[in-house]
């Protein structure tokens, strides 16, 4: 979908990627060529994203995270509301412990060492490399 700054839907045109962040790709629609006027933004889910599960350790409840859904959104839909602020993986407000499974870190908050430990992640944007994450909630 293309929208201009006034939320008008624009026809698909050539574009280039400005930023690939979290599970979304934000693309500047340049009208087909670099150097042409900015005409809008396109937001797409990463085509490689797949559904997975998260388990709330304290209750044992297992929640499915759809391919086009964030962990935070899936948790909220099940009544587990996390503190959120930026929802872009920048601020760390949603930082949550991971007891089992392998996070797919897509934030800009954690250091490389923290990511390598795999014992916490940002559910506003990060996903899973394993079929299930057990969350310290």
71's enclosing H/E stretch is helix 71-77
Using rule CB under 6 A, residue 23 touches ligand FES = no
Closer CB to ligand FES, 67 or 108, in the complex: 108
Q: How far is the CB of 36 from ligand FES (least distance, A)?
A: 33
* 83 backbone dihedrals φ, ψ, rounded to 5°: -70, 130
Using rule CB under 6 A, residue 85 touches ligand FES = yes
Distance (Å, whole) CA 64 – CA 9: 31
Using rule CB under 6 A, residue 90 touches ligand FES = yes
Using rule CB under 6 A, residue 121 touches ligand FES = no
Distance (Å, whole) CA 99 – CA 53: 14
Residue with tokens 């690939």: 20
65 alpha carbon, distance to own chain's centre:
11
**Contact pattern from residue 26 through residue 65 relative to ligand FES, giving x for each residue in contact according to CB under 6 A and a dash for the rest:** ----------------------------------------
Using CB under 6 A as the criterion, which residues of the chain lie in contact with ligand FES when the complex forms?
Answer: 84-87, 89-94, 107, 109, 122, 124
């Amino acid at each position: 979908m293309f929208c201009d700054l006034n939320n008008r839907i624009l026809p698909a045109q050539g574009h280039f990627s400005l930023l690939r962040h979290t599970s979304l790709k934000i693309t500047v629609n340049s009208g087909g060529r670099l150097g042409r006027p900015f005409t809008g933004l396109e937001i797409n889910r990463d085509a490689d994203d797949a559904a997975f599960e998260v388990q709330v350790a304290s209750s044992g409840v297992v929640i499915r995270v759809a391919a086009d859904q964030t962990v935070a959104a899936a948790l909220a839909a099940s009544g587990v509301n996390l503190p959120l602020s930026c929802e872009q993986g920048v601020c760390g407000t949603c930082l949550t412990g991971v007891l089992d499974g392998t996070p797919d870190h897509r934030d800009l908050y954690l250091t490389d060492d923290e990511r390598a430990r795999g014992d916490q992640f940002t559910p506003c944007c990060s996903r899973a490399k394993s079929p299930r994450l057990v969350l310290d909630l």
